Structures are given as structure tokens and as C-alpha cells.
Amino acid sequence: MKSYRESLNEMLQDEEFKKEYEELQPELDIIRAIADARISQNLTQKELADRTGINQADISKLENGSRNPSLNLLKRLAEGMDMTLHLEFVPKKQVR
């Protein structure tokens, strides 16, 4: 049985799939960052909801990708986890 990474690498050989995957990458990075930060502090979604005043169902929607967070919501999540929100713009890789 192939691993997730092996399957993904195989699918990324398809240029159309690769383009769609790369367009979704920023959203996936945000989802992963939210969940990783919460888990690193051993917090449940409910505990994070209690700390931030954000409904637990909304946190779940953020983490499963069915809701896009606003900047204000990201700041509230960071504050609730006693973290600093850091966003950055990074130049695209240049092909030569």
C-alpha cells in the first residue's frame, strides 16, 4: 500500500492536479497551523472555544477547511493560545 506522500507525489506529476494543489496550499497551511498550534498546547477545540469566545463548531469548520478565517478571527485564535500571529509575503520561486 502506498503512503500518502507517495500517492501525492504521483498525483503531482499531473500538471492540472499540481496547479490546483498549489493554489490551495495557502489555505491548507493556515488550517494546518491552527490545528498544530492547538494540539501543541494540548487544547481541545472546546477549550480553545472557551478561551476565545469562538464557537467550537466554528473552530471545527476552520480546521476541516469548510470555513475561511478572517484576519480578526486568526488574531483571536492566536491570543487564545497566548501566541503571536505572524503573516508574511514570500516571493515566488523564479524559474530559470
CA distance 16 to 14: 6
pTM (predicted TM-score): 0.78
Domains of the chain: 4-80 (1.10.260.40)
CA distance 38 to 78: 9
**pLDDT by 10s per residue, the chain, length 96:** 888 889 889 999 999 999 998 888 889 999 999 999 999 999 999 999 999 999 999 999 999 999 999 999 999 999 999 999 999 888 887 665
> Helices 15-40 and 56-64 sit at what angle, rounded to 10 degrees?
140
